[in-house]
């Protein structure tokens, strides 16, 4: 299996867990596995993209900020995506976010969207 066709793990903690957002973004629903990210805290930010706000039904979306504090922990789910679906997730996320690779509490590596 080539790297481009290998499943990509994406840690989700907000609107990408919503069925309607998944259907619009990926064309299918995903359950994922529970996990957590240590050293980050969850905050809220205004979303200026009308399409994203309308799809999620929220004017504000959660966003992760790195703290480095081992007591800070964000819970979410790991979705297994194709490379094309990961590209679609990149398009869904607005410019307030950037995708980074992290190691989750389980020891698994995954992509996650954090504050720019």
What is the per-residue pLDDT for 53? 67
- Which pLDDT belongs to residue 93? 84
pLDDT in tens, 78-94: 999 999 999 999 998 87
Locate the domains of the chain by residue range: 8-115
Report DSSP letters for the chain, one per residue: --TTTS-EEEEE-SGGGSHHHHHHHHSS----EEEEEETEEEEEEE---HHHHHHHT-SEEEEEEE---TT-EEEEEEEEE-HHHHHHHHHHS-TTEEEEEEE-TTS-EEEEEEE-
Report whether pLDDT(34) > 70.
yes
Across 17-21, average pLDDT: 92
The pTM (predicted TM-score) of the whole model is 0.85
Domain 8-115 listed as CATH 3.90.220.20: no
Residue 59 reports pLDDT greater than 90: no
Mean pLDDT over residues 12-37, rounded? Answer: 94
Return the pLDDT at 51.
74
């Amino acid at each position: 299996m080539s790297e481009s066709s290998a499943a990509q793990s994406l840690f989700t903690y907000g609107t990408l867990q919503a069925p309607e957002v998944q259907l619009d973004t990926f064309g299918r629903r995903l359950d994922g596995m529970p996990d957590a990210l240590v050293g980050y805290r969850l905050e809220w930010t205004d979303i200026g993209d009308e399409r994203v706000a309308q799809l999620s039904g929220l004017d504000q979306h959660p966003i992760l900020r790195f703290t480095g504090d081992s007591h800070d922990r964000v819970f979410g789910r790991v979705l297994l995506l194709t490379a094309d679906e990961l590209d679609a997730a990149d398009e869904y996320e607005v410019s307030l976010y950037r995708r980074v690779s992290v190691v989750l509490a389980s020891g698994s590596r995954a992509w996650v969207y954090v504050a720019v």
